[in-house]
Amino acid sequence: MPDITFPSHKIKLLLGVCGGIAAYKCADLVRRLIERDFDVRVVMTAAATEFITPMTLQAVSGHPVHMDQFDAEMEAGMGHIELARWADIILVAPATANSLAKFVHGEADNLLTTILLASNAPLILAPAMNQQMWKNPTTEQNLASLAKLGHTILGPGVGEQACGDVGAGRMLEPLDIAQRVQAIAFAKQSLAGKTVVITAGPTVEAIDPVRYISNHSSGKMGYAIAKAAQRAGAHVELVSGPVHLGDPSNVVVTRVTSAAEMLQTVKDKVANADVFIGCAAVADYSPVEVFCHKIKKNDEQMSLKLQRNTDILAWVAAQPNRPYVVGFAAESQNLREFATKKLHKKKLNMICANDISSDCLGFNSENNALLVLFDDGSEKILNVAAKEVLAQNIIDEIALAVGENDSSINRE
């Protein structure tokens, strides 16, 4: 996937609609995109026309809808190569399991797949399918391959499905998709020339060969920040605990397991950093002793002796030539009070506090909400939104601060 740098004209977005029940939401999606100043053209697969009519999408987009690869009239007007060249960005929503499989293998058996193959525009995919299809290892592999190629995957959401099943596989809501695409497309190159080191995901602390201590961090928040920083032009070093996310494109990813490994990697990376963002849910304690063999359950009770792990964030902030240091605070109560304490105690420049008492925010969720506190006493509330959207907001705040505070950052 190429670097995302967009021209100054209205961003030209090609919406590919595949054949899933969520296609009926595409009329709303087109409107939401147009509201956000995108120039939208629509390409539909044959299956998509079973769920929503081309006429509807033509009416809302204000342009003819493209469907047939071999339509002589269309090709004479705007053919598949012109469409591929026209698009500044391509969004496929809903992206069905079938189409995702075709994209992975570079098939060009319909207009949409042919355009994707012929275009070098950034590709954003919003999958939608039955939860069992989503869980299928083939789909998982396909998604991993697409993420590895640098394409952006939005969602899917979790909930009740049209078929009656409950689980992951719902297409994200149109407003949600439009906001995320907007965050991606309108990102400014505000961190060009800067190096940003980010920690993300959980750490895993071994007890014995089969057991460990960890937490529910999925890495989504940290990875979204890494992508936003990369889009803003930064050189991004992502130090990631074990997560099920593909490497973001143009980001240097170092995978670690334990808090000790994360600390060592951060030490290696942070010397020349301009910004450090600690988004990882680092285990506060790890077992004093890691057993070589599986512990036998001989007694009714057992105790595990734990030792405190070094606080990576505080360590970075204590360095003489420290970068701009941003921490997170995951709190289930007294959000402002506890986050303020962490801001001062760890000598941070900025802290993003999230309330983790709700199941649908914070850990392992698509959305989050943040209270952002700064070292100058100011604050900002970032209301519930997709993590990609919040990540963009965070990067905008950091870019503002790093720009303004450049001279006050003690750098040699």
**CB under 8 A, 24+ apart: contacts of 79-83:** 80/111, 80/114, 80/115, 80/118, 81/118, 83/14, 83/41, 83/43, 83/115
Residue 17 phi/psi, 5-degree rounding, is -110, 120
| Among 99, 114, 195, 218, interactor with ligand PMT by CB under 6 A | 218
| Among 99, 110, 195, 309, interactor with ligand PMT by CB under 6 A | 309
Write out the E strands in 272-402: 275-278, 285-287, 306-308, 324-331, 350-355, 367-374, 379-386
Q: Which of residues 129 and 329 has its CB atom nearest to ligand PMT in the complex?
A: 329
Give the tokens for residue 405.
Answer: 């505070």
Q: Which of residues 64 and 242 has its CB atom nearest to ligand PMT in the complex?
A: 242
Give the tokens for residue 184.
Answer: 């991606």
The reply to whether 278 sits near ligand PMT by the rule CB under 6 A is yes
Dihedral, 382, 384, 387, 388 alpha carbons, nearest 10: -70
| Among 32, 151, 220, 235, interactor with ligand PMT by CB under 6 A | 220
The reply to whether 273 sits near ligand PMT by the rule CB under 6 A is no
Q: Is residue 223 a contact partner of residue 248, using CB atoms and an 8 Å limit?
A: yes
Is 18 assigned a catalytic role?
no
| Among 44, 279, 372, 402, interactor with ligand PMT by CB under 6 A | 279
The reply to whether 327 sits near ligand PMT by the rule CB under 6 A is yes
| Among 270, 276, 342, 373, interactor with ligand PMT by CB under 6 A | 342
Q: Which of residues 110 and 393 has its CB atom nearest to ligand PMT in the complex?
A: 393
CA nearest to 90, candidates 162, 30, 13: 13
The reply to whether 397 sits near ligand PMT by the rule CB under 6 A is no
Question: In whole angstroms, how far apart are CA 367 and each of 36, 372, 382?
Answer: 20, 16, 11
The reply to whether 245 sits near ligand PMT by the rule CB under 6 A is no
> Binding segment for ligand PMT among 93-101, 128-136, 190-198, 305-313 (CB under 6 A)?
305-313
CA nearest to 100, candidates 37, 54, 146: 146
Q: Which of residues 112 and 391 has its CB atom nearest to ligand PMT in the complex?
A: 391
The residue count for binding ligand PMT (CB under 6 A) is: 28
Q: Which of residues 113 and 265 has its CB atom nearest to ligand PMT in the complex?
A: 265
Catalytic residues: 163
In the complex, which residues of this chain contact ligand PMT (CB under 6 A)? 199, 201, 217-222, 259, 278-282, 284, 309, 311-313, 327-330, 342, 354, 362-364
